């Protein structure tokens, strides 16, 4: 089972965010590379989740089946 991804971690610079292990930056176990993967808050700022995560209404609208012209069926 996958771990929940923290939206606003207290110290994102202390962990590698490249896989589900969230290893310490100085002791990476997975061999995901020589450098740690940064958390989105480090890359895009504190409001990264507002633009990166879809709203429930938008996600529901996107899952409707479309006909060949891109119009929702039904």
How far is 8 from 40, CA to CA, in rounded Å? 9
Model pLDDT, residue 49: 85
Alpha-carbon distance of 12 to 22, in angstroms, equals 10
pLDDT digit string, tens, across residues 33-49: 678 899 999 999 988 88
- Is this prediction's pTM over 0.75? no
3-state secondary structure of 72: strand
pLDDT score recorded for residue 58: 54
pLDDT tens-digit readout, 4-61: 889 999 999 999 998 888 889 888 888 766 788 999 999 999 888 887 666 645 545 5
| CA gap 32, 18 in Å, rounded | 7
- Distance, CA of 25 to CA of 17 (rounded, Å): 9
């Amino acid at each position: 089972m996958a771990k929940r991804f923290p939206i606003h971690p207290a110290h994102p610079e202390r962990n590698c965010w490249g896989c589900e292990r969230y290893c310490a930056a100085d002791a990476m176990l997975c061999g995901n590379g020589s450098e740690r993967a940064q958390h989105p808050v480090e890359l895009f700022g504190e409001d990264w989740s507002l633009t990166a995560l879809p709203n429930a209404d938008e996600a529901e609208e996107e899952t409707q089946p479309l006909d060949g012209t891109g119009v929702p069926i039904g």
